[in-house]
Structure 1
């Protein structure tokens, strides 16, 4: 238990990372306003829990629920934007509605919550926004274009936000997990209608994933406690043993390609 219990607001707390984050905070004596589309799904979390029903795509509902949490807890210290899902489908397979829905939850949902909590955090002169992204917010892989689009957008918004709110004593941390033992690719995922031309691509992706040992969300929750307790938390943090190697490979390829095309970049500048 921390010396002074923190007040948390966690979205998407019915399963996966969100539930483990809420559980870890509650177990050490913090107070948690946990949200899910169906508040009954929060049953089983023990401690000073405030269960709240919330669809983060509903801007007005977000404002009302945040106000309720602030009033009942006496302000917020840690806000975790975790609500989201993965959409599987090749870019050619995506419908406009599917892409918009992915962005509505993963990007606009986080935006709604962030904007709703910021006035209270600014007034208190402190606070910590935790944006749950992914290594899919750094690189992009086949069959996940919509998901990557949402996480790249979330990362850009969050990096700008971090610069904007630092003067108010507010920290922002972007959490970038690798593969974990959650329901992300299971019942919580959505999928486009497949085109047979992309079946080999999906088979290759499944074969690559089969040899990877997933991380433990409970261990990730303990790591998050360390981050929110730090006086100087990172802007970005990778979660999972495989994530650093994957990210180094991604950035290595990018740097090599930029080096290879450096002369072209100079010519594109025009006369000096």
Structure 2
């Protein structure tokens, strides 16, 4: 069995938690990582194969332009780990309409925008992957997690 080819992967939400851990694992395996994060200095990955890409994925009106710049700068991306998200919990009636929109924008819509923008690039690669990080609450949400659970189930 030969060596695993080096790939360039986009990881969203790379400044903390699961996204940070996945980024570090990919880097340790010899891959390149373009890390999308609102706060690229948080988590501060110091590795020659890591490229921070500052973006607020919840700002959907700015996202297509930012993603177009990402694609033009990195035309060799072969995978996406769509991990960014936030968790807000409470009864549905406790959420304002803007809060519902904010949660869905980050947890769902931004990941769809990202996939749409990068699909042409992924298709050009000999091997490519899309990995969406969901949540087990999508399978067994509680009464205080309706919006979050719905956003993760939709992934």
TM-score by length of 2: 0.87
Q: Which runs of 5+ in 1 are unaligned?
A: 155-272
SS at match of 1:148: helix
Count residues in correspondence: 153
Residues 56, 112 of structure 1: 8 Å contact kept: no
CA distance in 1, matches of 2:152, 2:83: 12
- Name the CA distance, whole Å, in 2 between partners of 1:63 and 1:98: 22
Bigger CA radius of gyration: 1
Query: Partner of 1:87 in structure 2?
Result: 88
Point out the structure with the larger helix share. 1
Structure 2: gaps of 5 or more residues: none
**Superposed displacement of residue 69, structure 1:** 4.3
Secondary structure in 2 matching 1:147? helix
What does the per-residue CA deviation read over 1:105-158, in whole Å, with 9 as the maximum and x for residues that have no partner?
10111111111111111233541000010111222212111101111222xxxx
* 2:27 corresponding residue in structure 1: 26
* Equivalent-residue separation in structure 1 for 2:72 and 2:102 (angstroms): 31
2:13 corresponds in structure 1 to: 12
Corresponding position of 2:136: 135
> For the structure 1 residues 72 and 100, does the alpha-carbon distance in structure 2 shift closer, same or farther, using more than 3 Å as the test?
closer
More contact order relative to length (CA 8 Å, sep ≥ 6): 2
Q: What pairs with 1:1-272 in structure 2 (closer than 5 Å)?
A: 2-59=3-60, 61-124=62-125, 126-154=127-155
Which TM-score applies when normalising by structure 1?
0.52
Task: Give how far 1:43 is off.
Answer: 1.4
C-alpha root-mean-square deviation of aligned residues, in Å? 2.0
Q: CA deviation at 1:60?
A: 5.9
